[in-house]
Amino acid sequence: MSSMSDALRAEWTKLRTVPSTGWLLLAVLTVTVGVSALAAGTACPRSACAADPVRTSLTGVGFGQALVAGLAVSMVAGENAMLRLTFASMPRRVVVLTAKAVLAGVLVAAAAIVAVGLSLLAGQLLLPAGVAVAGAEPLARAALGSVAYLVLIGWLSLGVSAAIRDSAAAVGTVLGLLYVVPIVAAAVSDPDWQRRLQQVGPMSAGLAVQATRNLSQLPIGPWAGMGVLAAWSLAMLLVGGTLLRLHDA
Contacts with other proteins by CB under 8 A lie at 20, 24, 31, 35, 38-39, 42-43, 45, 50-52, 55-56, 59, 62-63, 66-67, 69-70, 73-74, 77-78, 80, 166-172, 175-176, 179-180, 182-190, 193-194, 197-198, 203-204, 207, 210
Alpha-helix residue ranges (DSSP H) falling in the chain: 2-17, 19-42, 53-57, 61-76, 82-89, 93-126, 136-164, 167-175, 181-187, 191-200, 202-206, 222-246
Nearer to other proteins, 73 or 229 (CB): 73
Q: How far is the CB of 167 from other proteins (least distance, A)?
A: 4
Nearer to other proteins, 34 or 241 (CB): 34
Give, as one character, the DSSP assignment of residue 207.
Answer: G
Q: How far is the CB of 186 from other proteins (least distance, A)?
A: 4
Q: How far is the CB of 236 from other proteins (least distance, A)?
A: 16
Nearer to other proteins, 7 or 170 (CB): 170
CA–CA gap between residue 165 and residue 158 (Å, rounded): 10
Q: How far is the CB of 24 from other proteins (least distance, A)?
A: 8
Q: Contact at 8 Å (CB) between 124 and 50?
A: no
Least Cα distance to 68 among 19, 121, 105 occurs for 105
